[in-house]
Amino acid sequence: MIQTAQNHLKSVFGYDEFRPQQEEIVENVLSKKDSIVLMPTGGGKSICFQIPALCFEGTALVISPLISLMKDQVEALKSNGVSAAFFNSSQSDFEKQQIINQAQEGTLKLLYMAPETLLNVLNTWLTRVEVSMVAIDEAHCVSMWGHDFRPEYTQLSQLRDYWSEVPYIALTATADKATRKEIKSKLGLVDPNVFLTSFDRPNISLEVRGNLPKKDKRKDVLDFIQSRQGESGIIYCLSRRETEEWSEFLLENGIPASHYHAGLTSEERAEVQEDFINDRVPIVTATIAFGMGIDKSNVRWIIHNNLPKNIEGYYQEIGRAGRDGLPSQALLYYNMRDVKLLADFAQDSPHKDVLVEKLNRMLQFAESPTCRRKTLLSYFGETLIKDCGNCDVCENPPAFISGSLIAQKALSGIMRTNEKIGMNLLIQVLRGSKSFEVYDKGFNKLKTYGVGADLSAKEWQHYLTQLLNQGVVEIAYDENFNLKVTSFGKRILFDGQKLMLSSYVEQSNKKDVSKSKRKSKRGTSDEQLFERLRNLRLQMAKKEKVPAYIVFSDATLKDMVEKKPILSTELTSVSGVGHQKMIKYGEEFAKCIKDFLDQNPKKKSTFDVTLDYLNEGFSVSETALARDIQETTIFSHIAKLYTDNKLNDINKYFSSEELSSVEKAIQKLGETEGLKPIFEELNGEVPYGVIRLCISYFSKNELAV
């Protein structure tokens, strides 16, 4: 059975091997056991139920909460030649009847439905369908506590009454433990095997840039985007206004972008989504509402204009990048204003404490001087043994300095105001600012006024945030965000407790992770070929009225550029090209590659040119003449071609007498420096080139001489 699965993987989806865990999951389903699959976005969950569905007789039911997701998956399956459909109330009666017929005849391999639809048809036509298995996608929707709660999901356990013998598989990208438990109990899974893959998304580089003035941030982002022309990305903002400002700013700079937020009509929102999915508008500036249910695999970067509310949200949002596994970037900007704003929001909630705690963890992530990925994964209960090497901290490892003096200045500053000072004002006081507020409050008369003038405001911000993260001070959210000295802080102030802080590095002195990871390939011939293939893909997609990635993913195009197949049949060696797509697109893509290679012939190495002449039957001297180079050089080419296994019969370039006299000379002389002693030993009767060839011959055939 697993062999059949393997065959389907290659012939239908065009993949050579399963990813880690996929094979075990498929095996588990094939042996009719229940499964819970926890895999990050882009991890390849769909394959886990689609392949078993193809192996089984009958129709697999797939439950999914969003129509857009169902449509995408069905479209993708069909493009691979799989008989699949989704069923929902928006379809015409005729369409519905066709699907029902197919299902009842047993020709439909996968049938997608929203839970409410499924519950509606349970007792009607569905009773006459042979159901092979049940897959419940986005299974975290059973959780009352999550933000995607769908009440209908909690009724799915009754499916067991209808199909008790078939395997059930629940899949989700939500990591937390409470949700896992709920999935198991609420879906009525029987003794499920739980498959937990790592939540790491190593292809996404992580970077945080803090405390940039608005103007600098704009320039920064513009640079970032301009060095990634045509690439798709999302800028997440806290407020609707900011999404509009950003899209305007980008448009003013000639960069196509749309904004998206809950204030738009549903038609407007649908249009933005469609344009984004179909690569018509590469950039969307959005509030967090954007992205749910978008299955676009080639989003190359995510920018957060503000600090996200919590790490779950951050992880989910950056996860929308790089689903195709290609290198992608996540860039987070934040400043203390965001923190204050979010903490303000939290005050109105009955779960205020939890929200503030989560916000603090998010802030800690942003401020952390340890590997970002380590911090992120540890939040989800995973430990990364080594630093990731693909985040800004790994690129710019911090230096630690003794922070006791800095801390004492700040702490006594706070104490002297009776802990009635916020962070910004404290910085002004420490730096001896002549601002109105400082004078108004009489803080210019404090003993600590001006004691920190040696550090810039940015430096103070950097150190104060660390004091916050290390628990030296805390923010009283309910008291005007004033700073309070903790008991740990008091030990530093009064008992000589020591403290280390990571030293401040000017943003402009930092290595840019995303840049250093990008090899500039633009303009190289491979890059040009990629562009051509992308264009061809777009044409095909338009013709068939499907999103471009349904034709081929970016990852597949990259592999095409790598392998450069010029026959349509060779296209199946490319990852992501199954049988159906080879037939459908093979000809055109192979031709595109061939034309490109014809127009951009690869410069041949000088050795290969010599080889061409020799293969044409030219002698050594004729080749030398034709190429206008020395005969000895041609001999050295032959030696190299022979060593590289490009040319085998070198015996024709020397006689057996020459070979044996060279052999004798070598035996007599032993190890020699260069060829000259051998040449002289043989009285110049054997040319240098021939000696060289003989030596290549000996060494390749490992003849002891």
Instruction: Find the binder of ligand ADP among 228, 296, 323, 581 (CB under 6 A).
Output: 323
In the complex, the smallest distance separating the C-beta of residue 75 from ligand ADP, rounded to whole angstroms, is: 12
Build a one-symbol-per-residue string for 36-65: x at contacts with ligand ADP by CB under 6 A, - elsewhere: ---x-xxxxxxx------------------
In the complex, the smallest distance separating the C-beta of residue 234 from Zn ion, rounded to whole angstroms, is: 22
Torsion sign, CA atoms 6, 12, 18, 22? negative
Structure tokens at 400: 């630690």
In the complex, the smallest distance separating the C-beta of residue 378 from Zn ion, rounded to whole angstroms, is: 12
**CA separation for the pair 542, 276 (Å, rounded):** 14
Instruction: Find the binder of ligand ADP among 297, 368, 448, 502 (CB under 6 A).
Output: 297
Taking a C-beta distance cutoff of 8 angstroms, is the pair 249, 217 a contact? no
Contact flag: residue 322 with ligand ADP (CB under 6 A): no
Q: Which does 333 bind (CB under 5 to 8 A by kind): ligand ADP, Zn ion, none?
A: none
Residue nearest to ligand ADP as judged by C-beta position: 44
Rounded to whole angstroms, what are the CA distances from 650 to 267, 475, 608, 660? Answer: 73, 81, 15, 15
Buried b or exposed e, range 109-140, using 16+ CB within 10 angstroms: bbbbbbbebbbeeeeebbeebebbbbbbbbbb
Which of the ranges 15-23, 243-251, 617-625, 631-639 carries the binding residues for ligand ADP, by CB under 6 A? Answer: 15-23
**CA separation for the pair 297, 72 (Å, rounded):** 11
Contact flag: residue 391 with Zn ion (CB under 5 A): yes
**CA separation for the pair 521, 227 (Å, rounded):** 12
> Other CB atoms closer than 10 Å to residue 206's CB: what's the count?
25
Helices (H), 564-702: 579-599, 606-615, 620-627, 631-643, 656-669, 676-681, 688-700
Q: Which does 46 bind (CB under 5 to 8 A by kind): ligand ADP, Zn ion, none?
A: ligand ADP
In the complex, the smallest distance separating the C-beta of residue 147 from ligand ADP, rounded to whole angstroms, is: 18
Residue 695: strand, helix, or coil: helix
Vertex 686 angle, CA 682 and 687, to 5°: 130
In the complex, the smallest distance separating the C-beta of residue 521 from ligand ADP, rounded to whole angstroms, is: 22
Half-sphere exposure of 611 toward its Cβ, with a 13 Å CA cutoff?
15
Q: Which does 433 bind (CB under 5 to 8 A by kind): ligand ADP, Zn ion, none?
A: none
Which of the ranges 112-120, 222-230, 364-372, 536-544 carries the binding residues for Zn ion, by CB under 5 A? Answer: 364-372
Structure tokens at 59: 């129709």
Q: Which does 18 bind (CB under 5 to 8 A by kind): ligand ADP, Zn ion, none?
A: ligand ADP
Structure tokens at 69: 């997701």
**CA separation for the pair 77, 295 (Å, rounded):** 14
Instruction: Find the binder of Zn ion among 38, 336, 359, 394 (CB under 5 A).
Output: 394
Q: How many residues bind ligand ADP (CB under 6 A)?
A: 17
In the complex, the smallest distance separating the C-beta of residue 237 from ligand ADP, rounded to whole angstroms, is: 25
Contact flag: residue 15 with ligand ADP (CB under 6 A): yes
With 0-12 CB in 10 A as exposed, 13-18 as middle and 19+ as buried, what is 683?
A: exposed
Q: Which does 504 bind (CB under 5 to 8 A by kind): ligand ADP, Zn ion, none?
A: none
Q: Which does 570 bind (CB under 5 to 8 A by kind): ligand ADP, Zn ion, none?
A: none
393 vs 686, beta carbon nearer Zn ion: 393
Build a one-symbol-per-residue string for 541-580: x at contacts with ligand ADP by CB under 6 A, - elsewhere: ------------x---------------------x-----
In the complex, the smallest distance separating the C-beta of residue 288 from Zn ion, rounded to whole angstroms, is: 25
Binding site for ligand ADP (CB under 6 A): 15, 18-19, 22, 39, 41-47, 297, 323-324, 553, 575
